[in-house]
Amino acid sequence: MEIRDTRFLKGVTGSEGLPMPERPTVAFFGRSNVGKSSVINALIRRKGMARSSSRPGRTTEANYFLVDERWHLADTPGYGYARLAKSQMEKIAKHLSWFAGAPEVRIDLAVVVIDAEIGLQDSDRETIGVLRDAGRKILLLANKADKGRRNDIANHVREAAKEYPDSTVIRYSSKTGEGRTELLEALEEIVSVGKEKAA
């Protein structure tokens, strides 16, 4: 797979705004400041398509994009931003929990972006737990693999694979392009199977 065209569709806050479910959907999840927007922009090779908020933790919309007229990419709000008021954190957590688990939300693959430099965090585990409870297929993308000590990165990736043996773990760097080919291959498999199911 090579991505040639991506366009923004809409921001969604509830089930009424969801796009028609005939196309496979890949949803990206991740903590605030984990580099999720950079991951998406590097994947589709479009600078600024996915935007990080100037006020982390404020965005509650899931932004949908149409990729090559074949599949939907959903960019979900960042979670785990500690400086937010408790009420705002609970609001984001509630929305994410609904989006991750609701049967009316089509998610063929959930890509959870984690920080390869520091490893899995409790907020990552909570999100993964909701996705697993909903029966979602999960891929862990260990971003920032170009930063920090190489041994630490390798250990964190290995620990994530050990903790979630039923999920693929890919080392990724938005900066160097490491892992992009592997991610595209995983997406092609999901999109092809998803199109067959919809046919």
pLDDT tens-digit readout, 130-184: 999 999 999 999 999 998 889 999 999 999 999 999 999 999 999 999 999 999 9
Query: Is residue 87 one of the residues assigned to a domain?
Result: yes
Q: What is the pLDDT of residues 76-118, one digit of tens each?
A: 988 876 566 677 777 777 888 899 999 999 999 999 999 999 9
**Residue at 71 is within a domain:** yes
- Residue 21's pLDDT band (boundaries 50, 70, 90)? confident
The pLDDT of residue 196 is: 60
Question: In the block, which residue shows the tokens 């050990």?
Answer: 162
* CATH number of the domain that residue 157 is part of: 3.40.50.300
Which residue range forms the structural domain that includes residue 156? 6-198
Facing residues of 76 across strands?
Answer: none
Total Cβ atoms within 10 A of residue 2:
8
Q: Residue 85 corresponds to which tokens in the numbers above?
A: 């008021």
The answer as to whether 1 is a domain residue is no
23 domain residue, yes or no: yes
Task: State the Cα–Cα distance between residues 9 and 186, nearest whole angstrom.
Answer: 23
Nearest residue to 109 via CA among 39, 47, 165, 184: 184
Residue 89 lies in a domain: yes
- Angle formed at CA 43 by CA 130 and CA 139, multiple of 5 degrees: 30
Q: How many domains are there within the chain?
A: 1
Domain presence at residue 130: yes
Count CB neighbours of 94 within 10 A: 11
What's the pLDDT score for residue 59?
Answer: 62
Q: Are 90 and 77 in contact (CB under 8 A)?
A: no
Domain assignment of residue 144, yes or no? yes
pLDDT for position 148: 80
Termini Cα distance of the chain: 20
158 within a domain of the structure (yes/no)? yes
